[in-house]
Amino acid sequence: MEMLEGILNRTSSPLLEEPAPSPEQIENMLQAAMRAPDHGRLKPYRFILIEGQEREALGELFLSRLLEINPDADEKTCLKTRNMPLRAPMLLVLVACPRPHPKVPASEQVHTTACAGQNILHGAYAQGLGGVWRTGWVAEDKQIQKQLGLTDEEQMLGYIYLGTPKNPARKTPEVDSADYISFWKSDH
């Protein structure tokens, strides 16, 4: 697939099924992630792979945390929360690991991590796979982050769900770039 064609046509695939990406496909995605813009070549990120029965364990963690936060959660909400990680055969947790650097602020290192996540999605699409980046309270919750092994200095940017698309890719919507650009002119 041509790179520009892939970038212009990639869409999120919210409905994913088996097969999960192969080890070779995962390695390709990780190598793509490591090509993200990275001032200082710090590689300020890491990834946590969750697959198989570990997805069920993650769902139990989500449910447990939900019931701590909201003991009166209804059955439908509990079931939905427990099943969140089962929406794909594999998840990659995207973790920013900024560290002190005299020229590269932590915010820039978080941006690098986000670019790595985008490259993972492009790498999945280029290999005929589907992916969707999910966030929400289960990504922001400090107790869940701690259970996943994040330190206080790290920041979870979300879960990248990966698998085989259940449905054909949606057509990418036409967007007029003129609505999103302005031209600066100096006062001189």
Position 79 in a domain = no
Of 48, 57, 39, residue with least CA distance to 162? 48
pLDDT at 169 over 90: no
The percentage of the chain sitting over the pLDDT mark of 70, rounded to a whole number, equals 99
Indicate the residue type of 27.
E
> What CATH number did the domain enclosing 32 receive?
3.40.109.10
Per residue in 10-54, pLDDT (tens digit) is 999 999 999 999 999 999 999 999 999 999 999 999 999 999 999
Query: What confidence tens digit (pLDDT) does each residue in 42-56 have?
Result: 999 999 999 999 999
What's the chain's length in residues? 188
pLDDT digits (tens, 9 = 90+) for 94-110: 999 999 999 999 999 99
Interatomic CA distance for residues 121 and 118, integer angstroms:
5
Q: Is residue 62 over pLDDT 80? A: yes
Residue 37, domain extent: 14-48+89-167
139 within a domain of the structure (yes/no): yes
Give residue 52's pLDDT: 96
At residue 91 the predicted structure's pLDDT band, cuts being 50, 70 and 90, is very high
Residue 67 belongs to a domain: no
* Beta strands per DSSP E along 28-181: 45-51, 90-96, 130-134, 155-165
